[in-house]
Amino acid sequence: MSEKSISERAKETLKWIQKEQKTNGLGMVESTNVPDQNALRYLLRAGDVYEPQHGWIKSSAEPENEESASSGLPDHRPWNWRTPKHKNKKDKPEPYEFLPYPDWEVLPSAVAEALRPMGFADVSYLYEGYSYRKMAGGALRRKMIGTHSKEAMLSELKLKDNRSEEKWAKFEQDIVDKIAEYKGKYKQCPEVQICPNIVYYPKDGSFSFH
The per-residue pLDDT for range 153-180, each reduced to its tens digit, is: 998 888 887 788 888 899 899 999 989 9
- What residues have CB less than 8 Å from 187, skipping those under 6 apart? none
**Secondary structure (3-state) at 72:** coil
Q: What is the pLDDT of residue 63?
A: 53
Beta strands in 105-191 (DSSP E): 125-127, 130-135, 138-143
pLDDT score recorded for residue 146: 92
Could you give the CA distance from residue 84 to residue 134 in angstroms, rounded to a whole number?
A: 15
The verdict on pTM exceeding 0.85 is: no
Selection from 136, 128, 61, 131 nearest residue 100 by Cα? 136
Q: What's the chain's length in residues?
A: 210
- Average pLDDT of every residue of the chain: 84
